Structure formats: C-alpha cells, structure tokens
Chains A and B, each alone.
Chain A
Amino acid sequence: MGEKYKNEFGVFAERPQVEKKYYNAKYIFTGLAVFLILLILPLAPNLGKTVPPPQRQLDTPVIQKMAEKDRQCIMPTDWMRANHMQMLVDWRDKVVRTNEKGAPNGRDFVSPDGKKYLASLTNTCMDCHSNKEKFCDQCHNYVAVAPNCWGCHLQEGKKLAEAK
C-alpha cells in the first residue's frame, strides 16, 4: 500500500498506481528520426567541405584594352569591395533627385584622382564590368545576397551597345 496523499479535493488513501512506460514509443521515435534525417539531409552534402571564395574576373574586352596603369576602378579596389553598395545607393538618390528642391546636380561623380564619371550603374560600371555573371553574381551568390537592381536596370549601356 502506498502512503496517503492530499489534493484540493480531499485526503485519499493511496496514490493511484500508474504503470511507468512510454506510450506510442514506436511512432514517436520513428517520427523523430525521420524529422532529424530531413533536417540534416540538405546540409549533409556540404558537410566538411570548404567553398573557395570567388575570384574576381576582370577579363572583359574593355578592361583588357586598357593599359596596365589605367586599370583602376573609380575608387580603390578595397574601398569598392566594401562600399560599392552604399555608393550605388548614394548615386541612385543623387541622380534621381537631381533638381529636386535643394538637391544638387548628382549625375557627375568625381573620383579622388580627379577624373569625372557619369554616375550610372548601366552606363558606367557595366561598360568595364560587362561580365555580370562572373563579376557581380558570383560574389553575391557566395554571400547569399540578392540585390534587385536587374529587375529594371539593363546589363548593357549605351557605350557598349555602340561599340558592338
């Protein structure tokens, strides 16, 4: 006989004897196993592998044509790698909002070495970096970002189209 115990309804003679066991253990553990396998399955093929960081590809016709010393982006390469997204957003705001009340003419961009460029993704950047798949997409895929520039902006600028 077990000891007496009390609950809010009164004092009872003994605790109810309940058999200690897992109910439906077969189904529960099979279900858990299937869940874990499904969870791990997509990650398994990449387990232990290291994906090499993408190498920037600069072998576009326009860049190849340039002399070695002229092969320089509008800003230093390291700065561009870290800040090109912010620069493009700044360009966007300045160009579109040109001549809005109080806004300066934002279509010109002057690089630190004094060269003047048209602030335009399609008409300036893509002239040199015409290899979008290798230059833009490769890195963006690697870091899993999906910029939505290309829904509207074209890959080919006027200069490049005329050169062809």
Chain B
Amino acid sequence: MGMDRREFIRIAGLSTLLGLGGKGAFELLRPGQVEAAMAAKPEAQGVVRWAMVVNMQKLDEATAKKCIEACHRVHNVPDFKKPKDAKDTLPPEVLNRYEVKWLWTEHFHNAFPGEDHPNMLEKVAHLPFLLLCNHCDNPPCVRVCPTKATFRREDGIVNMDMHRCIGCRFCMAGCPFGARSFNWRDPRPYVADTFPGYPTREIGVVEKCTFCAERLAQNMLPACVEASGGALVFGDLNDEKSRVRDTLKRYFTIRRKVHLGTNPQVYYIV
C-alpha cells in the first residue's frame, strides 16, 4: 500500500518533533564536544610551563625600545622602513601592511580593548605596553593551521615550523592579539645586519615570537628579558620557587582579552 501525502507529512512532522531527523538527534542523544568549541584545555601536561610577566611599573619607552631591538636583531626580523639597498625602498602606503613584528608597543586602549574608559588614570593610558605572542594555553592559531605548521609544545610554547607554513594566513585571522606577521616579500634585503646562526624567513610565510625557543634550549633567557633590566620576568609557572610565580604572587596582574578563552600566558603588572 502506498502512503498518501497527508500520512507522509504527519509522520515527517512527528519525527521532527521527536528530534529524530538529522545530526541534531545524535547530538541530543549522545552529547559530545563540538569541533569548534572554545573550551579551555586541561592544565598543561608538561613539566615546565614557560610564562612571562611584564612589569609596566618599571618599563619605560626607552627600555621597551631596547627590548624590541634586541629581539628583532637576534631573530633577523626585517625592518621594511630601512632597506639595505636604496633600490629596495618601498612606497610608504605599504610600509604599515608589510610590517613584521615579534615584539611591539601599544597604548592601553589598544592592548586591552574594552577595559579602557574616558576617565582612567592618565599615566596608565599612555604607557607603552609591550606586546608579544601570548603563548596561549588554548591557542586558536594552532587549531586553525591546516598544515600543523603552528603547534603547541609541551612546555607551553606555541612554535612554528617554517618549513611547513604554506602562507594561508588562517593563523593571523585566528589570533586575537595580532601577534603574527606575514612576509609579503623577501625579507632578506631589509635585515640590516644578519645575525649569524639564526635563519631569516622567506617570502610567503607567517612569523611570530617563539619565546626564544632556540635560546631556552641553550639555557639562556629570552633576548627581550635580558635587555629589559628586570622589567620583564620570565620563568616556569609550574615551579613554585620560580621568579614568575613569585612575581605573580606579590603583584596583581592582568592579561589581554581573557574573555576570549585562549588563556594567554603573558601577564601585565600595571
């Protein structure tokens, strides 16, 4: 016997009411994690968890500049404003877009958007907040990378494998902190003095701060921390006696855009 139209609509309607149609039913009966969920991962599994505290009470414009210079020098970060050869001079309209930065400064209202207000302490509003990759516990850049070029190490460092980067820039869209830069052109002619032993990058890859993974491997502190004269504190969060833990215990600190759930690991003392 065939089913007439009225009968078909009745059964279809009832099934929909009971939630028996489509993927929704499975979600309802056996709830699992949605792939794109922003749930924070459980605590870091590694023995070491690197983190940084930026003490804005000690950091002034000059020190911040010194830190940035130290960082960009040892990592061969190009400065597109200063080509080695005059023929590589870029038109001013692209300079901003081409900028590659691992470490940079921003005022409070840009560093902590939404937390500023018109009547806030003027001194803080004009501080040069030193910004870098936050090496998040739940890094969106790692989740969106289609080639796993960006990955999270067991010690919490979010690192990049330049050999794998295909330059899709998903990570730049994913990172809410603007910590990633794209090489729109070959950076070599814009690296003033090449630092021996550390590679440059090629056209078409994304780069960012690595918490100086190559220096940590040699038991050295990150270059910016060394240059900061005590304004930056770096160490192991899992070690109770470390300087970061001590600093975090003694001062009240804030972090950037915590409400996004990425759990950033760069702390700011204001």
Partners in one complex: yes
Give the interface of A toward B (CB within 8 A): 92, 96-101, 105, 107, 120, 122-123, 151-154, 156-158, 160-161
B199 lies within 8 A of A122 (CB): yes
Q: A122-B199, A161-B196 are in contact. Are A99 and B155 (CB under 8 A)?
A: yes
Q: B135: CB under 8 A from chain A?
A: no
Instruction: Number of B interface residues at 8 Å Cβ cutoff, please give it.
Output: 22
Say whether chain A's binding surface is mostly helix, strand, loop, or mixed.
Answer: loop
A154 lies within 8 A of B163 (CB): no
A101 lies within 8 A of B154 (CB): yes
A92 CA to B163 CA, complexed, in Å? 9
A96 lies within 8 A of B194 (CB): no
A56 CA to B152 CA, complexed, in Å? 41
| Residues on the A chain within 8 Å of B199, using CB | 122, 152-154
A100 CA to B196 CA, complexed, in Å? 26
A157 lies within 8 A of B217 (CB): no
B200 lies within 8 A of A156 (CB): no
Q: A92-B163, A96-B159, A100-B151 are in contact. Are A152 and B196 (CB under 8 A)?
A: no
Q: A100-B153, A100-B154 are in contact. Are A156 and B196 (CB under 8 A)?
A: yes
A101 CA to B151 CA, complexed, in Å? 9
| Residues on the A chain within 8 Å of B151, using CB | 97, 100
B163 lies within 8 A of A122 (CB): no
Chain B minimum-CB-distance residue to A153 = B199
Chain B minimum-CB-distance residue to A96 = B161
Chain B minimum-CB-distance residue to A120 = B197
| Residues on the A chain within 8 Å of B153, using CB | 98-101
From residue A110, how far is it (CB to closest CB) to chain B in Å? 16
| Residues on the B chain within 8 Å of A151, using CB | 202
From residue A153, how far is it (CB to closest CB) to chain B in Å? 5
| Residues on the B chain within 8 Å of A96, using CB | 159, 161-163
Query: Which residues of chain B (160-181) have a CB below 8 Å from chain A?
Result: 161-163
A6 CA to B159 CA, complexed, in Å? 79
Chain A minimum-CB-distance residue to B205 = A152
Query: Which residues of chain B (217-237) have a CB below 8 Å from chain A?
Result: 217
A156 CA to B196 CA, complexed, in Å? 6
Q: B201: CB under 8 A from chain A?
A: yes
From residue B268, how far is it (CB to closest CB) to chain A in Å? 26
A154 CA to B194 CA, complexed, in Å? 9
A122 CA to B76 CA, complexed, in Å? 14
Q: B103: CB under 8 A from chain A?
A: no
B197 lies within 8 A of A152 (CB): no
B191-210: CB near A (< 8 Å → 1, else 0) gives 00010111111100000000
| Residues on the B chain within 8 Å of A120, using CB | 197
A154 lies within 8 A of B197 (CB): yes
